[in-house]
């Protein structure tokens, strides 16, 4: 078997003698690439971001920015990454390197002061710079407003500021960084990283990497993965590692065996059938968002509020559901969509409604050796939907309360109501009493106010550092009133 190695800035580097839990961040810094920084070690600041060549949505390869502090280096065995150092073009000996366009704009527009966060911003900006469907930069006509066709979060060059939502700056301020982002043009035809998008990324390597009695495994097929999990039920299963990476960094957790399932083809499908949509459990949230392209409005509303783009570039629905966290953002939405999970083990597959999946705090009906293979959403979708996330920050934050609504309203009558809640009980829950209080009744202020009183009593909210139980209950009721205020005109018309 070929020794585990990663291609970094065009050069192969072996993983050995790094331990299997070693992150990409630590590996890079140990090899002298110190532009990649550690800030928070839990995926919130983006100082560690690097570019990874991944299967593309619109081209064979996308350059995807990820948090190097969370990804085990062994998870990128056989893969190709670019760091901030690798973006500049090296000239002839004795001549300085030529700055990448993103680096150049950051420099000339004052986007860097202390420089600590700058390499991370550069890599996240470069990922957006190379996004194939970003519109080309055009100069405005004389006297025209350069931002006339843009909004606060999108530049006239098509740059989406959400691509920087996982990067924090501590001293420069965001205006010059935004100015740099909105000033970059389109990649030139001879740009090697733009040309690289036309070739497929490296195939995931089947990996067996062992050091110091710990092993990182990447099986090549779902059958092999399920066999491994039957033989080693104590193994930690990782996809994007956005949860396990925090455990490794902050709580010093270690595992004798880690099994990576993020590149299994059987877990990476996305299909739309006549009566359902099936989403592979190892599709990243960014991939799902771009492939669905707004066709599931409730998911489209969720994605921008789910952590940050850097996290969404790695995080998966399977991972978010597999942790069983009561404050995950996807369970309330999927509960409102009446989703079910396809659970697979070495003996076969079964389908479990998500409403029956959670059994207790971080507990579920998933058996040892079982994987979430896919999420299935029934069709047709309810036409009135909304996702309300109550948090201390607008983006890149953990929910205090999350509420998802999916309603069928015909002739002013609520024919069906599905409401998913997060952050108000030991598990994500359906607001069954509130659903019953709405169904069969007119979508009026009187009905909604009565149902809001019921909704305030759903779950068993607790008080913690994010919010009090009283506040959480109040927000439940307020969210339904907000939904009615937002939809009354649309429903009546």
Q: Is the pLDDT of residue 284 over 50?
A: yes
Structure tokens given for 410: 């015909």
Residue 126's nearest CA partner among 155, 150, 148, 159 is: 159
Quick one: how far is CA 15 from the chain centroid?
A: 26
Compute the radius of gyration of the chain from its Cα atoms.
23
Q: Is the pLDDT of residue 461 over 60?
A: yes
pLDDT recorded at residue 277: 98
Count how many Cα atoms sit within 13 Å of the Cα of residue 106 in the half-sphere of its side chain. Answer: 25
Instruction: Tell me the pLDDT band of 323, cut-offs 50, 70 and 90.
Output: very high
Beta carbons within 10 angstroms of residue 40's beta carbon: 16
Q: Is the pTM of this model over 0.75?
A: yes
Residue 76's nearest CA partner among 203, 235, 224 is: 203
Structure tokens given for 383: 């036409």
Please say whether the beta carbons of 165 and 394 come within 8 A: no
pLDDT recorded at residue 94: 72
Structure tokens given for 451: 């149902």
Angle separating helix axes 101-108 and 174-183, nearest 10 degrees: 140
Q: Is 48 helix (H, G, I), strand (E, B) or coil?
A: coil
Residue 187's nearest CA partner among 59, 343, 23, 6 is: 59
- 210-254 tens-digit pLDDT: 998 999 999 999 999 999 999 999 999 999 999 999 999 999 999
Q: Is the pLDDT of residue 385 over 90?
A: yes
Instruction: Tell me the pLDDT band of 91, cut-offs 50, 70 and 90.
Output: low
- 393-431 tens-digit pLDDT: 878 888 999 999 999 999 999 999 999 999 999 999 999
pLDDT recorded at residue 123: 98
Domain boundaries, the chain: 1-209, 265-378, 384-492
Query: What CATH number has the domain spanning 1-209?
Result: 3.10.20.30
Backbone torsions φ then ψ of 57, nearest 5 degrees: -90, -40
Q: Does residue 260 come out as left (phi exceeding 0), alpha (psi in the -120 to 50 range) or beta?
A: beta
Query: Strand locations in 168-269, DSSP E?
Result: 207-211, 214-218, 236-238, 257-260
Instruction: Tell me the pLDDT band of 349, cut-offs 50, 70 and 90.
Output: very high
d(CA 449, CA 49): 46
358-361 contact pairs (CB < 8 A, 24+): 358/324, 358/331, 358/427, 358/428, 358/429, 359/427, 360/426, 360/427, 361/324, 361/326, 361/426, 361/427
The residues facing 437 across adjacent strands are none
CATH superfamily placement of domain 384-492: CO dehydrogenase flavoprotein, C-terminal domain (3.30.390.50)
Please say whether the beta carbons of 183 and 147 come within 8 A: no
Q: How far is residue 62 from each of residues 29, 58, 85, 130, 133, measured CA to CA in Å?
A: 24, 8, 19, 8, 11
Beta carbons within 10 angstroms of residue 441's beta carbon: 17
265-378 to CATH, choices 3.30.465.10, 3.90.420.10, 3.40.50.11690, 1.10.1240.10: 3.30.465.10
Average pLDDT over residues 305-310: 95
């Amino acid at each position: 078997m070929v020794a585990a190695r990663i291609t970094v800035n065009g050069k192969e580097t072996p993983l050995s003698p790094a331990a299997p839990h070693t992150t990409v961040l630590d590996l890079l810094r140990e090899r002298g690439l110190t532009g990649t920084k550690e800030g928070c070690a839990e995926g919130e600041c983006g100082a560690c971001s690097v570019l990874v060549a991944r299967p593309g949505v619109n081209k064979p390869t996308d350059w995807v920015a990820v948090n190097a502090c969370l990804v085990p280096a062994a998870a990128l065995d056989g893969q190709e990454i670019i760091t901030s150092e690798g973006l500049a073009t090296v000239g002839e000996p004795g001549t300085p390197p030529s700055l990448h366009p993103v680096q150049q704009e950051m420099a000339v527009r004052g986007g860097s002061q202390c420089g600590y966060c700058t390499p991370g911003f550069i890599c996240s900006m470069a990922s957006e710079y190379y996004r194939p469907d970003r519109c080309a930069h055009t100069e405005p006509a004389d006297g025209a407003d350069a931002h006339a066709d843009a909004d606060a979060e999108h530049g006239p060059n098509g740059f989406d500021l959400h691509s920087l939502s996982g990067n924090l700056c501590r001293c420069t301020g965001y205006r010059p960084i935004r100015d740099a982002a909105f000033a970059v043009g389109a990649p030139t035809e001879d740009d090697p990283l733009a040309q690289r998008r036309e070739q497929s990324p490296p195939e995931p390597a089947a990996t067996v990497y062992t050091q110091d009695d710990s092993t990182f495994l990447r099986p090549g097929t779902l059958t092999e993965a399920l066999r491994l999990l039957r033989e080693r039920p104590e193994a930690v299963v990782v996809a994007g590692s956005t949860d396990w990476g925090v455990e490794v960094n902050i709580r010093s957790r270690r595992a004798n065996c880690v099994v990576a399932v993020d590149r299994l083809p059987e877990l990476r499908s996305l299909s739309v059938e006549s009566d359902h949509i099936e989403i592979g459990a190892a599709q990243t949230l960014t991939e799902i968002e771009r492939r669905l392209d707004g066709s599931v409005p409730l998911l489209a509303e969720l994605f921008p509020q789910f952590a940050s783009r850097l996290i969404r570039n790695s995080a998966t629905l399977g991972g978010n559901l597999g942790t069983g966290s009561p404050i995950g953002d996807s369970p309330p939405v999927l509960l409102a969509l009446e989703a079910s999970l396809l659970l697979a083990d070495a003996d076969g597959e079964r389908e479990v409604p998500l409403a029956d999946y959670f059994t207790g705090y971080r507990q579920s009906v998933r058996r040892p050796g079982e994987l979430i293979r896919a999420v299935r959403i029934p069709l047709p979708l309810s036409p009135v939907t909304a996702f309300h996330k109550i948090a201390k920050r607008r983006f890149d934050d953990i929910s205090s309360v999350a509420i998802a609504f999916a309603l069928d309203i015909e002739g002013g009558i609520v024919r069906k109501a599905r409401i998913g809640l997060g952050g108000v009980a030991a598990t994500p829950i359906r607001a069954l009493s509130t659903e019953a209080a709405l169904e069969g009744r007119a979508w009026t202020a009187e009905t909604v106010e009565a149902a809001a009183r019921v909704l305030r009593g759903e779950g068993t909210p607790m008080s913690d550092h994010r919010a009090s139980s009283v506040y959480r209950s109040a927000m439940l009721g307020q969210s339904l009133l907000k939904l009615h205020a937002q939809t009354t005109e649309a429903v009546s018309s």
